[in-house]
């Protein structure tokens, strides 16, 4: 007797009408696609969303032409212009990095049953900016080595340079991807991302020599520290940008000394107050005390009137 067939997944052809070309790339109409998926058996929803992402990357590969191709791993769909050997290295790294992030942050978010993740690599910086500028208002686009685009079907976009730099950027952006459902402050999000980038790739030793410490002392004061808590310092175009990432990583290292309290802090921290209430609840003290460890006494605590934001 022939076994009953499983319900068919969405096909590329069924979804092609909902992926028009806009600003140089296929741009899925996720609202319309979501309505289609909502009308199908709910037990296959994650598979249908993965099928939609697969159709999207296939359409993008056809639009861009060779050597672009979509390849699949157990957890991810990867679009790239790489030759087979390079593509395999990237794919294995994506799976390894994701496993390490999920293992070390186990229980922080519920990752069960998710549809497949998406990583898109572009052959030039210009192609990357053309693609990702679509997601920013009025064409505004900050300079970056890669980005996690947390819009509709969240995905990672990266301009390919070489394997080490690409792997470091993937590790960084996959951390943002894992944390996407948490309303944490930007300093904590970026601090975790640079921490995992280094732990997975061993590319950024965290050292504070006297000259670098002097740069921090010269930059941070009672006003600029509010930019750090709010996330505004991560949008600076001067030395404050690198100093912000470095300070965020120092803060994460200091707070993460004991794993379970740190995970409790991350679960409770919110961008509205820069994580201050969570620090008081979990560690029994203000985040200002954390900064005092680095720079001495001062008014370092997040202020509610600084109106912190999160990306």
Do the Cβ atoms of 168 and 201 come closer than 8 Å?
Answer: yes
Query: If pLDDT is split at 50, 70 and 90, which confidence band does 11 have?
Result: confident
In the chain, the percentage of residues whose pLDDT exceeds 70 is: 92
Cβ atoms < 10 Å from Cβ of 281: 12
**Residue 2 scores a pLDDT above 70:** no
Distances 66 to 58, 69, 203 between C-alpha atoms, Å? 12, 7, 32
Cβ atoms < 10 Å from Cβ of 153: 18
**Residue 73 scores a pLDDT above 50:** yes
Class of the CATH domain delimited by 16-31+48-181: alpha beta
Task: Find all residues with CB under 8 Å of 30, minimum gap 6, and list them.
Answer: 152, 153
Q: How far apart are CA 108 and CA 85, in angstroms?
A: 34
pLDDT at 209: 86
- Global pTM exceeds 0.75: yes
**Residue 154 scores a pLDDT above 90:** yes
pLDDT at 177: 96
In this structure, of 5-9, 14-18, 144-148, the range with the lowest mean pLDDT score is 5-9
More confident residue, 229 or 8: 229
- Domain extents for the chain? 16-31+48-181, 210-306
pLDDT at 278: 98
Query: If pLDDT is split at 50, 70 and 90, which confidence band does 41 have?
Result: confident
pLDDT at 254: 95
Short-list 45, 96, 52, CA closest to 70: 52
Do the Cβ atoms of 52 and 10 come closer than 8 Å?
Answer: yes
Q: How far apart are CA 192 and CA 266, in angstroms?
A: 10
**Residue 150 scores a pLDDT above 70:** yes
**Residue 218 scores a pLDDT above 90:** yes
pLDDT at 311: 45
């Amino acid at each position: 007797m022939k076994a009953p067939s499983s319900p068919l997944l969405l096909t590329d052809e069924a979804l092609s009408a909902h992926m028009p070309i806009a600003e140089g790339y296929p741009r899925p109409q996720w609202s319309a696609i979501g309505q289609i998926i909502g009308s199908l058996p709910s037990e296959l929803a994650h598979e249908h969303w993965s099928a939609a992402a697969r159709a999207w990357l296939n359409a993008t590969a056809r639009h861009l032409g060779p050597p672009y191709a979509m390849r699949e791993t157990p957890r991810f769909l990867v679009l790239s212009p790489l030759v087979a050997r390079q593509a395999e290295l990237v794919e294995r790294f994506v799976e390894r990095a994701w496993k390490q992030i999920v293992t070390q942050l186990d229980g922080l978010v519920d990752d069960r049953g998710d549809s497949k993740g998406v990583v898109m690599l572009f052959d030039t910086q210009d192609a990357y900016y053309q693609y990702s500028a679509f997601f920013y208002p009025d064409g505004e686009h900050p300079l970056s080595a890669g980005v996690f685009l947390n819009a509709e079907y969240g995905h990672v976009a990266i301009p390919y340079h070489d394997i080490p730099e690409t792997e470091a950027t993937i590790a960084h952006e996959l951390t943002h991807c894992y944390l996407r459902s948490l309303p944490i402050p930007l300093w904590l999000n970026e601090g975790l991302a640079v921490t995992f980038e280094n732990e997975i790739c061993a590319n950024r030793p965290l050292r504070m020599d006297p000259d670098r410490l002097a740069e921090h002392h010269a930059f941070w004061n009672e006003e600029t520290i509010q930019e750090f808590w709010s996330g505004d310092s991560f949008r600076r175009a001067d030395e404050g940008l690198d100093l912000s990432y470095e300070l965020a990583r120092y803060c994460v290292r200091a707070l993460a000394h004991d794993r379970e309290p740190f995970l409790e802090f991350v679960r409770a921290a919110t961008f509205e107050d820069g994580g201050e209430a969570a620090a008081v609840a979990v560690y029994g003290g203000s985040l200002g005390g954390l900064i005092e460890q680095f720079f001495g006494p001062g008014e370092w605590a997040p202020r509610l009137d600084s109106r912190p934001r999160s990306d």
